[in-house]
Amino acid sequence: RIRAVPATRYLPVVMVTSLNGEAERVKALEAGADDFIAKPVDHAEVVARVSSLTRAKRGRDQLNAAYIDLRRSESLRDSLTQMLVHDLRTPLTSLLLSLSMLDDGQTGNLNPTQQHLLNIGRRSGKNLLNLVNDILSVAKLESGQVLVNLFPASIPALVEEALIEVAHMVTDRQATLLREWPQELPLVSVDADLLHRVLVNLISNALKYSPLRSTIEVGAVLLEDSPVGRAIKVWVQDDGPGISPEHHQRIWDKFGQSEMGENNRASTGLGLTFCKLAVEAHGGFIGLDSELGQGSTFHFCLPLQPKAK
């Protein structure tokens, strides 16, 4: 009963009894006792054992208090972050709209140098806006506030739309894109907006971290049997420096970093965190195959009959 009450759940319990057999000791410990003393009782032994248990409880209490403080600090950090990014999104949207008006020639024609600088500004502004959206989306997905709107969609069509968005990166990196999927691929019920952002994140990462003139492969295939049943598997394969096995789990964490080969790839990790949460919201899963010096293949599976979270 002591263990059933939260206030006394971790209170040290020493059982004092005249029974001294092994079976009695085991029974006492199974009943919830922390220690066992057989009669006749030695005063010094009792003091020593109680002192030891008290120190252990004090340490546990301190650890629990530190954990509560950490959770409180994390909650405050997340709240401040969301407040800041909300405040950032409006001026960023206005900035991009103004740059778009310049690009459309509404203020006059631009010379080549001005056009080049404008393009840099638009891309940088859009990258920053994407980061802001990732922060907000991760917070909403974690708290279950995102409504996943499922509609039948073609994976190849969604891939092509994502490739259009990263076309400038393909040109800048002088990359070769390979598409690999069968001619007939069944539709899958997905939230097109969420999946579009997953694909853009994975493909842009592949381009960003691969050498110039690399080959990037984007593929899809139907799996008749997978951990989520019949599913569509999608992958993005790059020629980058690869990721060491000890970082394979960490890269999905918020604010995670990964060092790959000789290149220090510091990243907030928010893009990959978003990808993981978005895929899991479809009832699917995401993974990575990679070794240092051998490139990386990011892949995810989406069930044909999803149970959206």
pLDDT tens, residue by residue, 35-49: 877 788 788 888 888
Lowest mean pLDDT among 73-82, 126-135, 263-272: 263-272
6-69 and 151-303 agree in CATH topology: no
Q: What angle in degrees, to the nearest 10, is found between the helix axes of 270-281 and 192-209?
A: 150
To which residue do tokens 């040290």 refer? 12
The residue with greater pLDDT, 19 or 212, is 212
* Res 173: pLDDT: 93
Give the pLDDT band (50/70/90) at residue 198: very high
CB contact set of 235 (below 8 Å; sequence gap of 6+): 217, 218, 219, 220, 297, 298, 299, 300
Cβ burial, residue 128 (10 Å; 0-12/13-18/19+)? middle
Establish whether the linkage from the previous residue to 40 is cis, with ω within 30° of 0. yes
Give the pLDDT band (50/70/90) at residue 265: very low
Beta carbons of 96 and 150 less than 8 angstroms apart: no
The residue with greater pLDDT, 305 or 239, is 239
The Cα–Cα gap between 88 and 108 comes to 29
Residue 19 has pLDDT above 60, yes or no: yes
Cβ burial, residue 171 (10 Å; 0-12/13-18/19+)? exposed
* Res 1: pLDDT: 66
Q: Does the domain at residues 151-303 carry the CATH identifier 3.40.50.300?
A: no
Lowest mean pLDDT among 50-54, 208-212, 283-287: 50-54
Give the pLDDT band (50/70/90) at residue 285: very high
Retrieve residue 138's tokens: 């991760």
Q: Which helix (H) or strand (E) segment is 107 a member of? A: none
Per-domain boundaries in the chain: 6-69, 81-143, 151-303
Q: Does the domain at residues 6-69 carry the CATH identifier 3.30.2350.10?
A: no
